[in-house]
Amino acid sequence: MTARDPSPIWHPFTQHAFQPEMIEIARGEGAWLETPGGNRILDAISSWWVITHGHRYPPIVAAIKEQAERLDQVIFAGFTHEPAEHLARGLIEIAPQGLSHVFFSDSGSTSVEVAIKMALGYWHNIGEPRHRILALEHTYHGDTFGGMSVGARTLFSAPYAPLLFEVGRIPFPSPGHTQDTIDVLDAVCAEGSVAALVVEPLILGAGGMLTYPAHVLTEMKRVCEAYGVFFIADEVMTGWGRAGTLFACERADVEPDIMCLAKGLTGGSVPLAVTLCPQKIFDAHRSTDRTKTFFHSSSYTANPIACAAAAANLDVWKREPVAERIVNLTQLQTKHRGTLRTDTRFRNVRQLGTIVAFELNAPDAGYLAAIGPKLYSFFLERNVLLRPLGNTIYVMPPYCISEAELDQVYSAIGDAADQVDRWAAS
């Protein structure tokens, strides 16, 4: 590629005016990405939170190859296949109690769309129309219109704001104000016609890696139960061990009514998502009256290759000491968290399982803070991939990262913090 021959590609969440050149990656292995020239970059954000065991994890790669040799794709209406059947049974086996059915889609965003449609479809089909959806402040549930609607209204969604549907907004359970969250939720539910509450359990990802206590999640579920409101857990980021347990809801003893999974579902290898629901939602759509059908699909629903990759991931969880690896990584992260907490250059140092996040004390803050891109470039110069949300830095590595590799990440962060005053002066 030359300057006269620019790429026709429009990249996601990318301001091409500032970032005209992309870094080409030719290979991935374990916690590393490699350029065609052989430069290695440490992937400290699991390639946007998807890679769990590591890049090109052998059993998952093998399953993809094997399935590609047998069946690549088949329409999923009226047809089924072994990888999907096997995976669905495996998911129900490990999912929280009460979840009995699996609906496939392709991304976290669509899994949330499906969850909302399932909830609304239930109330519609049983003849008790409830249309209100509730969601937490600062939350992120994807970039489709439904996902944007339930997500926080930010500069990301500003151009589309007039077309987003209205959502009952529940205050974020910030320290000292957790009871407000529960009280507002209770009051809004009491007004009636609430179909569902959508939450990111225990940590809000794109909203700034904000954490909240498990008892708040437990309480929110209790309030929903009292009003017959569906509790939708968007575990797209938190699932598959990221929060320390297989699903974050486990940490609060919460059994969601509907659960969304994507990202780590295939170990991060290929796109796939699922929305799990209970018998009663399935039954409300199962009828000799065709108008009650769940009218949702995408062309690649339950793609066999993606299902085989996800089934292989389930197998890895069953056969390999994944939980132990997560405990080890969590302990390493706790050690670094402790060090950061004694360092005045950082504040709000927080951890949930394998994720550590904190704010860098910098003159400007917020997502568009000028410090964000500077940090990003600085880390890349040190061959570390970190993608700060403004002055919020988070470390979310694949579980295979070694102690020495993680040290390298934090050493780059320490070096960056040393630069802040110099950047501010320039």
Ligand X SMILES: *Cc1c(COP(=O)(O)O)cnc(C)c1O
Residue 41 or 150: which CB sits closer to ligand X? 150
Smallest gap from Cβ 267 to ligand X, in A, equals 14
List beta partners, residue 42: 32, 384
Helix (H) / strand (E) element for 85: namely helix 82-94
DSSP annotation of 70: H
List beta partners, residue 347: 359
Residue 167 or 412: which CB sits closer to ligand X? 167
Stretch of 18-26, 96-104, 140-148, 338-346 contacting ligand X, by CB under 6 A: 140-148
Q: CA-to-CA distance for 73 and 407, rounded, in angstroms?
A: 43
Residue 85 or 143: which CB sits closer to ligand X? 143
Closest CB to ligand X belongs to which residue? 108
Residue 232 or 420: which CB sits closer to ligand X? 232
Residue 354: name the closest of 58, 141, 45 by CA. Answer: 45
Sites for ligand X among residues 17-46 (CB under 6 A): none
Smallest gap from Cβ 392 to ligand X, in A, equals 15
Read off φ and ψ for residue 36, nearest 5 degrees. Answer: -55, -30
Q: Per rule CB under 6 A, is residue 141 in the interface with ligand X?
A: yes
Smallest gap from Cβ 115 to ligand X, in A, equals 10
Smallest gap from Cβ 50 to ligand X, in A, equals 8
Smallest gap from Cβ 1 to ligand X, in A, equals 27
Question: Tokens in use for 295?
Answer: 């009218």
- Measured CA to CA in angstroms, residue 364 lies from 27, 301, 391 at distances of 36, 44, 8
Do the beta carbons of residue 285 and residue 291 sit within 8 Å? no
The one-letter code for the residue type at 148 is M
Q: CA-to-CA distance for 275 and 115, rounded, in angstroms?
A: 6
Residue 24: name the closest of 14, 12, 39 by CA. Answer: 39
Question: Tokens in use for 261?
Answer: 């999974």
Residue 262 or 375: which CB sits closer to ligand X? 262
Residue 278: name the closest of 91, 97, 98, 93 by CA. Answer: 98
Smallest gap from Cβ 424 to ligand X, in A, equals 31
Residue among 112, 134, 194, 216 that touches ligand X (CB under 6 A): 112
Smallest gap from Cβ 126 to ligand X, in A, equals 27
Write each residue from 186 to 215 as x if it is in contact with ligand X (CB under 6 A), else as -, in one continuous string. --------------x----xx---------
Helices assigned H by DSSP within 191-321: 214-226, 279-285, 304-319
Smallest gap from Cβ 76 to ligand X, in A, equals 19
Residue 109 or 330: which CB sits closer to ligand X? 109
Residue 125 or 181: which CB sits closer to ligand X? 181
Smallest gap from Cβ 249 to ligand X, in A, equals 13
Sites for ligand X among residues 255-284 (CB under 6 A): 262
Question: Tokens in use for 362?
Answer: 């910098």
Sites for ligand X among residues 296-355 (CB under 6 A): none
Residue 208 or 416: which CB sits closer to ligand X? 208
Handedness of CA 330, 336, 341, 342 (dihedral sign): positive
Residue 126 or 164: which CB sits closer to ligand X? 164
Handedness of CA 263, 269, 272, 274 (dihedral sign): negative
Question: Counting Cβ atoms within 10 Å, is residue 412 exposed (0-12), middle (13-18) or buried (19+)?
Answer: buried
Residue 182 or 236: which CB sits closer to ligand X? 236
Do the beta carbons of residue 171 and residue 205 sit within 8 Å? no
Do the beta carbons of residue 209 and residue 389 sit within 8 Å? yes
Write each residue from 64 to 93 as x if it is in contact with ligand X (CB under 6 A), else as -, in one continuous string. ------------------------------
Smallest gap from Cβ 206 to ligand X, in A, equals 6
Sites for ligand X among residues 224-243 (CB under 6 A): 234, 236-237
Smallest gap from Cβ 79 to ligand X, in A, equals 25
Residue 64 or 206: which CB sits closer to ligand X? 206
Size of the site for ligand X (CB under 6 A): 14
In three-state secondary structure terms, 325 is helix
Interface residue list for ligand X (CB under 6 A) = 107-109, 112, 140-142, 200, 205-206, 234, 236-237, 262
